């Protein structure tokens, strides 16, 4: 098994309330991607493969990183449809979509819990389908040769980490809420199992002039 470095995309359209309008990088998101690519190049970090989801924000982030690697696009690396499920939750259970940032800390685990328990009807995919596609995609990537970069989204990264650590819904939600844009998260095979050896690393955003670019939303 090869180790995998998961990367959350750069900041997207943070004012969006649906999947389509969210799916593009902001001006800052493009900068974050370029800074990450520069860090990987300057530090001579060794990766031989690059994978992304098929969402626009994944592709724009990978392109902005300028790794020189040919990207493999895999829809299994796409994000869960949070906005879609939040709308269904509101329609079916009267739970309003957050109107301020602080409300996401309770809203996200609620969406996860209702989704996992099958209490949201007509979702784009079931919880188990999401769980399975994430596991299958990463296992296939790990079976390849050489360390891999995987540009994806925060929900998928939190699922991958929760699978590795056998976390419950509240813990997975806390992980998802903590993940910063263009942050790095590394899964390393130890004893035939995934072990997280890096989480939410943003060395390219640690200088005083870039700390303001450590964004979550």
In a domain, 116, yes or no: no
| Residue 42 forms part of a structural domain | yes
pLDDT for the residue 18: 80
Residue 158 lies in a domain: yes
CA separation, residue 172 to residues 13, 133, 163 (Å):
23, 17, 9
Tokens (6 digits) for 91:
């329609």
Residue 177 lies in a domain: yes
Domain count, the chain: 1
C-alpha dist (Å) from residue 3 to 60, 121, 172, 189, 209: 23, 37, 21, 6, 31
> What is the residue-level pLDDT of the chain in tens, covering all 217 positions?
789 999 999 999 877 778 888 899 999 999 999 999 999 999 998 899 999 999 999 999 999 999 999 999 999 999 999 999 999 999 999 999 988 878 889 999 999 999 999 999 999 999 999 999 999 999 999 999 999 999 999 999 999 999 999 999 999 999 999 999 999 999 998 888 889 999 999 999 999 999 999 999 8
Euclidean distance between CA atoms 81 and 78, whole angstroms: 9
Is 101 domain-assigned? no
Q: Please give the pLDDT value at position 15.
A: 75
Range of the domain at 197: 4-78+134-213
Domain assignment present for residue 46? The answer is yes
Would you state the torsion angle of the CA atoms of residues 139, 108, 17, 204, taken in this order, to the nearest 10 degrees? -60
Which tokens go with 60?
């724009």
Helical (H) or strand (E) element with 85? helix 82-93
Phi-psi region of 94 (alpha: psi -120 to 50; beta: other; left: phi over 0): left
CATH code of 201's domain = 3.40.50.1240
pLDDT at 52 (0 to 100): 98
Classify residue 205: in a domain, yes or no.
yes
- Domain for residue 156, yes or no? yes
For position 152, what pLDDT does the model report? Answer: 98
């Amino acid at each position: 098994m090869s180790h995998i470095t998961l990367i959350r995309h750069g900041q997207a359209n943070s004012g969006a309330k649906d999947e389509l309008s969210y799916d593009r990088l902001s001006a800052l998101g493009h900068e974050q991607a370029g800074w990450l690519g520069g860090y990987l190049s300057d530090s001579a970090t060794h990766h031989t493969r690059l994978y992304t989801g098929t969402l626009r924000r994944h592709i724009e982030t990978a392109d902005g990183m300028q790794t020189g690697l040919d990207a493999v696009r895999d829809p299994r690396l796409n994000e869960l449809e949070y906005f879609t499920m939040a709308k269904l939750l509101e329609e079916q259970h009267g739970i309003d979509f957050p109107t301020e940032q602080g409300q996401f800390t309770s809203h996200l685990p609620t969406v996860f819990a209702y989704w996992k328990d099958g209490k949201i009807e007509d979702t784009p995919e079931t919880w188990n389908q999401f769980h399975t596609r994430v596991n299958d995609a990463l296992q296939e990537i790990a079976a390849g040769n050489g360390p891999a970069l995987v540009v994806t989204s925060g929900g998928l990264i939190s699922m991958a980490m929760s699978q590795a650590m056998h976390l419950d819904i509240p813990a997975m939600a806390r992980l998802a809420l903590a993940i910063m844009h263009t942050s790095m998260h590394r899964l390393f095979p130890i004893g035939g199992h995934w072990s997280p050896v890096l989480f939410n690393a943003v060395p390219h955003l640690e200088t005083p002039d870039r700390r303001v670019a450590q964004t979550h939303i």
